[in-house]
Amino acid sequence: MAAVILFSLTLAFSASLLFAVQPMIGKAILPALGGTPATWTVCLLFFQALLLAAYLYAHLLDNLRLSRQVAIHIIVICAAFLFPLSVLNFPAPGPGASPQLWLLSRLLWNAGCAYFVLAATAPLIQAWFSRTQHGRSSDPYFLYASSNAGSLAGLLAYPLIIEPLLELQAQESLWRSAFTFCAVLLTATGIYSVWRGAGNPIACSSEAGPPPPVSQKLLWCLLAFIPSSLLLGITTHITTNVSPVPLFWVVPLALYLITFIISFSSLQPLLITGLSRYFPIVLLGYAPLIYISGSSELLLIAMQLIFFFVVCLYCHCALVSKRPAAEYLTSFYLWMSFGGMLGGVFNALVAPNIFAGTPEYALMLAAAAVVWGCLYSQGRSSITLHVILICLAAVSGVAAAELFVERINPEYSLELFAVYGAPALIIFGLRRRPAVFSAMFCLLLIYLNYHHRAPGQTLVRARNFFGSKEVRYDSGNNTHKLIHGTIVHGIQSREPSLRSLPMSYYHPDGPLGDIFKVSKLDAWQVAVIGLGTGAMAAYARPQDSFKFFEIDPLVISLAEDERYFTFLAEAEGKVSVEEGDGRLLVAKERTGSFDIIILDPFTSGAIPAHLITLESISTYFEKLKPNGLVVFNVSNNFVSLDRLLLSTSRELNVVAITRMDLGVPKERAATGRYPSHYVVLTKNEEIAQKLRSDYGWHEIAEGAKLRPWRDHYSNIISIIR
């Protein structure tokens, strides 16, 4: 019993450190890349790649005598202290540098060695246990549940306990201390293994049987690949439409880990039977959620997470059901980690370079259907038929989508039933023929991918590290719209008389219009962090100067392309655009350069956290003239930034006022005016009073007292609506 406790404790503690460091270092590096959701995708790719390297190391080490294994691993642990974890030094990448390569290199330098040691723990400790004389040494896979439980504890502890209470420097110190204790545990476990393993080199060798064939190893890889890619797909979806912060990284990853815990438990044989039988219902329920968007976004995300959990659980239960004898344990974990890493490579590196949109999320659901069909079918002929039908389905699906994509509006329930409900019922009737069902399900996904798009004609769709953008023409209103995720980030009318009218969140009758009405300066010097369509340039008078700072080169190219938007080209004042992180570029400007600094960074759900810290806002005021304004577009359905800005204003001793323009009259909505919410911080009480008296601005409502965010501290939970 003592041996099981020692091994379980070592696995759980090392895994908790392994998964606590992931959101910690992801949060630390996020500001250097402008807060883009893709940062976490590349971080996960790095973690998966290093996990694979660690599992390969464990696999190679497993071929040596146990005493040599332990000695070598102790040396590697000592080497990790020469290159300790560092989460405080992440200078921004230089101009023209690849964000992905820069991020991978910084992660390797700042966290690589310590992460490698911890990642190798799970397979090594289980392999060492299998060589002891313990009664359960012939099947050490039960220890993996302890590892995953520790992973889950570390992952959840970060956003719920560590992040709200500690700044990054304190987090780093605490983690380093915990790593030292973990090194002691690993050393003690290794010494115990050598002591108890004497005379019993490989406890399970007589029962191991022949090595697993290549086909089985490829199946392990595939069953790990699908959940890994799905994890990144749903995480990107959530962080694109809500906010790219550790809490929203952690939730899908926590569910992913829970499926591992369950899969390696005694429930696995029962679950795989039930899941295999009812998996078609899961697939048909999951598919439409990928394409639906609306005002109940959080509810839709919650539903997606439930289905994501079940799909991952099926794949991982199927994976565990194919595990080999303990002699081939390290090989099993190696191929499993290889599949997980391939999922990261596909989502982080391959998909952004071959797809203009983000179809990889749906592709993995199709892959899950294919795997289910192959595993649930009986006999070679069924699998062959399955492959043939998939090819036919792909061709037929593309043809059907091209013929019917614009003919039905899925916003109405009857038409939505015709588009998805009726075909889904028909396909569900084929569930007892798995090959046919999964092939037809793939056809349905292809059709949905082409069919369910925002109203209007797609003029251009492109994708880069910062996400997928789309410009659409709405013939009903004769407008062009810039869309990122499910969020519209700018509209311009194609009517000559309305081309210069800033629409959506920037309408002259909205809060932003008030700012320019109340400022009576002869010439405005304005800085805008976030370009979008360049709509704010429409406010520029001939004597004014507007300087935009935009981190995403794709946004710049779309805003400057007069085929889509002409705000920049037709602006009356002097307008310039600089590429790079807005905070860093504003910091380089002369002190007292601007009358107004507006924060409207182009991200799909919220202002990136590093732009609203106490230090960053202090920088904005340093670059303002004495009576200047700092203006925040905080329009958001998911987080409430106004109270956070109120707490920051008190630290800086400045005025904070707000206006929520939610009740937009129908006649104004027809002119492209969207509901919006703005906050102004200023030292100019005269302008603040004029905004209150003439335009309906007011003080920010008091609520629970919030701690201002700092560069090394933030707490997303405190501002969730």
**In the block, residue with structure tokens 């090989």:** 331
Dihedral over Cα of 529, 533, 538, 544: its sign: positive
pLDDT in tens, 165-213: 888 889 999 999 999 999 999 999 888 888 876 444 444 444 556 788 8
411: pLDDT confidence band, cut at 50, 70 and 90? very low
**Long-range contacts of 386-390, Cβ-Cβ distance < 8 Å, separation of 24 or more:** 386/434, 386/435, 386/438, 386/439, 389/435, 389/436, 389/439, 389/440, 390/438, 390/439, 390/442
The SS3 of residue 580 is: coil
Query: 471 - beta bridge partners?
Result: 460, 482
Contact residues for 499 (Cβ-Cβ < 8 A; gap 6+): 492, 493, 566, 570
CB 606 within 8 A of CB 641: yes
Give ∠ CA 40-180-24 in degrees, rounded to 5.
Answer: 15
pLDDT in tens, 674-707: 888 999 999 999 999 999 999 999 999 887 778 8
Dihedral over Cα of 610, 612, 618, 624: its sign: positive
CB 92 within 8 A of CB 106: no
Query: How far is the C-alpha of 147 from the C-alpha of 12, rounded, in Å?
Result: 5
Query: How far is the C-alpha of 533 from the C-alpha of 557, rounded, in Å?
Result: 10
Query: How far is the C-alpha of 228 from the C-alpha of 223, rounded, in Å?
Result: 9
pLDDT for the residue numbered 350: 85
pLDDT for the residue numbered 35: 62
The SS3 of residue 317 is: helix
Query: How far is the C-alpha of 83 from the C-alpha of 96, rounded, in Å?
Result: 29
CA distance readout (Å), 640 to 160, 297, 298, 606:
18, 16, 15, 9
DSSP state of 638: S
The SS3 of residue 677 is: strand
Query: How far is the C-alpha of 465 from the C-alpha of 47, rounded, in Å?
Result: 18
- 616 Rama class: left (phi>0) / alpha (psi -120 to 50) / beta: alpha
CB 74 within 8 A of CB 185: no
529: pLDDT confidence band, cut at 50, 70 and 90? very high
Q: CB-based burial of residue 5 (10 Å sphere; 0-12 exposed, 13-18 middle, 19+ buried)?
A: exposed
DSSP state of 717: G
**In the block, residue with structure tokens 């609203």:** 612
Around Cβ 92, how many Cβ atoms within 10 Å? 17
62: pLDDT confidence band, cut at 50, 70 and 90? confident
pLDDT in tens, 469-493: 889 898 888 999 998 866 788 899 9
Q: Report the DSSP pairing between strands 594-599 and 525-529.
A: parallel
* DSSP element (H, E) containing 407: none
Calculate mean pLDDT across residues 401-411. Answer: 37
The SS3 of residue 692 is: helix
**In the block, residue with structure tokens 């008091």:** 702
